[in-house]
Amino acid sequence: MGILQNILAVIVVLGVLITIHEFGHFWVARRCGIRVLRFSVGFGRPLLMRVDRHGTEFALAAIPLGGYVRMLDEREAPVDPAEQHLAFNRQSVWKRIAVVSAGPLANFLLALVAYWLMFMVGTTTVTPMVGAVSPDSPAAGGGLERGQEIVRIEGERTRSWEEVNLALIGAIGRDRLHFETRNEGGALQQHTLNVSSYMAQQDPPRPLETLGFVPWRPATPPVIGRVLPEGAAAAAGLQAGDRIISIGGVHIDDWSELVNQVQASANRTLELQVSRNGQTRPVTLKPRPHQLDDGRSVGYIGAAAEPGQWPAQYRRELRYGPLEAVGRALHRTASMTALTVGSIRKMLTGLISPSNLSGPITIARVAGESARSGLETFIGFLAYLSISLGVLNLLPIPVLDGGHLLFYAIEAVRGRPLSDRAQAMGLRIGAALVAALMIMAFYFDLMRL
């Protein structure tokens, strides 16, 4: 069921992103007086097709991994002299630039609208409060203490843990981080955390763990909220609603104590005392080994805690009026665009490991998880992926929109286009680069599995 949800979620996400991107090209081409022959979502054989009054074919094709807008163009096929003024290649360089740039710009516009809706409807989050701080860590050295609220990082306002993590991801490679916190009395404090090439080459990035602190969380009782059907917990007969009283005779008060015991006990038998419906019963549990993303192997039982209740003073709802939400959406779109561009630059300079590249498998998994987490999370993921698609398409690599824009920019400066030979060579190099990136992303996807 989870795999099916992932597939459906990624089809919806890619379908929306591709349609919006190609519609940008299509809409501007029409406004520039260019004849559009086909607007296709997907590649391969069309599953559905209709033709409008302008003679444009609208197709839904079998392979939902892209799309295209085919325009009248003398470089692809002979054009009737009576229609040559409608051909793409006959347009001014500025019209061609407008048509090509319209696709990525449509993706940024989609992200802006998605964030606007999200901010206007409202998002529920929790205050980013510092929890336990490890001794001799950068956080401890910078004076962070349990119970402080993180107000700003590098001057950027942080209202939620999402914003904290985004700010820290953007700081990859720095040797010093500046925090501003608020203590329980309301006083603001400045902190400087000394690090060395912060999170450079980490895969996956561990923003808080690297600094040496964890988020503050309310105490979570050791009560099981959900059991996976194929896990060790289900095999031992544990059920949702069970309260773990003790492990090996040692009393358990918090879910974290259970997690620590389980993770340290892969393939070892644990004797539990469990309370169910007012009765106490013994349960024998054997955690199975599970490999984490960082290579460590820990015990795993396939059970989740019953969600704890956050105190009202730590819950925060971010909701804005229609006009204020526009400003918030513009800021979020700009900051996520800058984060994406910065991440690409840091990957090229070696600060971020190429193994962080994600392909269709990871996108499908994250799309499914975001859909299961609720509409708010799904819309946020859609917006971020739309920005990523827009940025990637603007890279100056022939084959991508950015490569075509590079050719047209050179033409605008020189007053004449590059030779057909030079453009063909650029396209071959661009195709090889894109193919290599796709193979790498797919390889890293498989490694994550």
Nearest to 340 by CA among 266, 393, 296: 393
Tell me how far apart the terminal alpha carbons of the chain are, to the nearest angstrom.
18
Largest CA distance in the chain: 90
Return the structure tokens found at 64. 């939902």
Q: Which residue has the tokens 């720095």?
A: 174
Coil/strand/helix, residue 323: helix
Return the structure tokens found at 273. 């005392």
Residues 119, 122: Cα–Cα separation, whole Å: 5
Residues 165, 157: Cα–Cα separation, whole Å: 12
How many whole angstroms from its chain centre is CA 326? Answer: 22
Out of 22, 149, 163, 180, pick the active-site residue: 22
Residues 29, 373: Cα–Cα separation, whole Å: 38
Residues 156, 347: Cα–Cα separation, whole Å: 23
CA dihedral 116, 120, 122, 128 (to 10 degrees): 60
Radius of gyration of the chain (CA): 27
Asked if 22 is an active-site residue, the reply is yes
Residue 112: count other Cβ atoms within 10 Å of its Cβ: 19
Active site residues: 22
